[in-house]
Amino acid sequence: MNILVDGYNIGLPAGTGVATYGRGFIQSARALGHRVELLYGLDNLPADDGRIRPGLPAVRRSARKLIDFVRAPFGLSITPIEPEHINANLSVPDVDLIWNRARLFRAAKGAYRRTGLFTAVDAPHIDVAHWTYPLPIYVKGAKNIYTIHDIVPIKHPEFVRNSSEFRKLCTDIRDCADHIITVSETSRTDIIEHLQFSPDHVTNTYQIVPHIFEDTTKHRHDILNKHRLTSDGYFLFFGAIEPKKNLLRLLQAYKNSDISTPLVVVGRPAWQCEQDVAMLRMLTDHPEKNVIWLNYLPRTDLLNLIRSARAVLFPSLYEGFGLPALEAMAIGTPVLTADAGALREVVDDAALLIDPLSISSIGNGLRLLDRDSALRKSLSTKGRARADFFSQTQYERRLGALLR
């Protein structure tokens, strides 16, 4: 079978959970014997002579954008490209062929906002097009399947900018898609109930646990020494700084707990994070508060910090899956997480669950994890076992059934 996968998130310079999901799908589909091709929407690729095309003047860029928006509903063509022509900062997954159409995803979304029409992509050799994120695009003549990871904008509109646009797009996808994939039974139930999807039309494949590299002890010691940390000597939060991640309550709980074990926060400011950032700056400006804020870390450094943490803290208010918790469990790091959304489903009994709306509940969980080494050891063992449920072998079994 020839499968086309969008590179919308995979083509972003900073990693996302959806990009990780897309890479896992590609890896597993190829392992199942399918031919997988990847579609980017990248600008500024080299010309045939290898030179980067110069940027267009502002007036021409505006004209180009307008032309794209007008043409998109009538269909856009794609062109094969060589991997070496892609920005070296992007990690390109192993695929059988790479396609590109400059500004594809921007043009499709812009055209959809103005016309309500999906953009057709001409790829007659493709059997299945998998859109790993809700996008107003389809491949003519192929089976088009879309992954809806969660419906946070509908259940919690306070967490996003434009919930009405998301609802309309998902409703239009419902009416045109050949099938919907999601990543948890929680999300599947939400999609069916809130968007009126047919139960037979939505399949939960869960998500594959990402490959965790072999332990590189020297590198791990380097990153710990750089930030004056010790193994099993700090708590770790990582993720975007936004309301859904509940960092503000976590910081308040930590501040009130009188715990001396440092708290390391790895995350970039995102939407509506002013209160979180203000609290972070107040705590980090006073070294005695034991809070360290790292705006960004390369993935290898982050995984080394996860591996050496006393526990990973993930008190998110709602998740359709909860990849950070799963990554920590796969490594063997104890996890404190919220009894909310899909998190209980993903972690089962392998994490310490707290009420994410209660600062005292979060604080009690912190103190318990901090002082109880036997509990941490038990959660580490249970976490590794639970992560096996999301292994590549298990994911390939579920994905293979879906594709058949």
The pLDDT of residue 161 is: 77
Three-state helix/strand/coil letters over 63-118? HHHHHHHHHHHHCECCEEECHHHCCCCCCCCCCCEEEECCCHHHHHHHHHHHHCCC
Q: Which residue is associated with the tokens 């700056």?
A: 281
Cβ atoms within 10 Å, residue 278: 11
pLDDT of residue 16: 78
Q: What is the pLDDT of residue 402?
A: 96
Q: What is the mean pLDDT of residues 359-387?
A: 98
Q: What is the mean pLDDT of residues 170-197?
A: 96
Whether 49 shows a pLDDT value over 50: the answer reads no
pLDDT digits (tens, 9 = 90+) for 76-91: 889 999 887 776 667 7
**Token pair 């940027």 is at which residue?**
55
* Mean of pLDDT values over 17-46: 91
Domains delineated in the chain = 2-209+393-403 (3.40.50), 217-390 (3.40.50.2000)
What is the band of 187 on the pLDDT scale with cuts at 50, 70, 90? very high
For the cut 50, the answer to whether the pLDDT of residue 48 exceeds it is no
Predicted local distance difference test score (pLDDT) of residue 302: 92
Mean pLDDT of 92-113: 93
Which whole number is the average pLDDT over 321-345? 96
295 or 361: which leads in pLDDT: 361
Question: 234-287 pLDDT, tens per residue?
Answer: 999 999 999 999 999 999 999 999 899 999 999 999 888 899 999 999 999 888
Least confident range from 92-106, 211-225, 238-252, 338-352: namely 211-225
Mean pLDDT over each residue of the chain, to the nearest integer: 90
Of 334, 326, 331, 369, nearest in space to 351 by CA: 334
For the cut 70, the answer to whether the pLDDT of residue 11 exceeds it is: yes
pLDDT tens per residue, range 107-152: 999 999 999 999 999 998 999 999 999 999 999 999 999 999 999 9
Q: How confident is the model at residue 334 (pLDDT cuts 50, 70, 90)?
A: very high
Range with the lowest mean pLDDT among 101-115, 140-154, 206-220?
206-220
Q: Record the pTM.
A: 0.90
pLDDT of 60 > 80? The answer is no
Would you place residue 9 in the very low, low, confident or very high pLDDT band (cuts 50, 70, 90)?
Answer: very high
Percent of the chain with pLDDT over 70: 91
pLDDT tops 80 at residue 208 = yes
> The tokens of 231 are what?
């193994």
- Decide if pLDDT at 12 tops 70: yes
Q: What pLDDT score was predicted for residue 54?
A: 45
Q: In the prediction, which pLDDT does 50 show?
A: 36
Predicted local confidence at residue 175, as pLDDT? 92
Structure confidence at residue 84 (pLDDT): 77
How do beta strands 97-100 and 79-81 pair? antiparallel
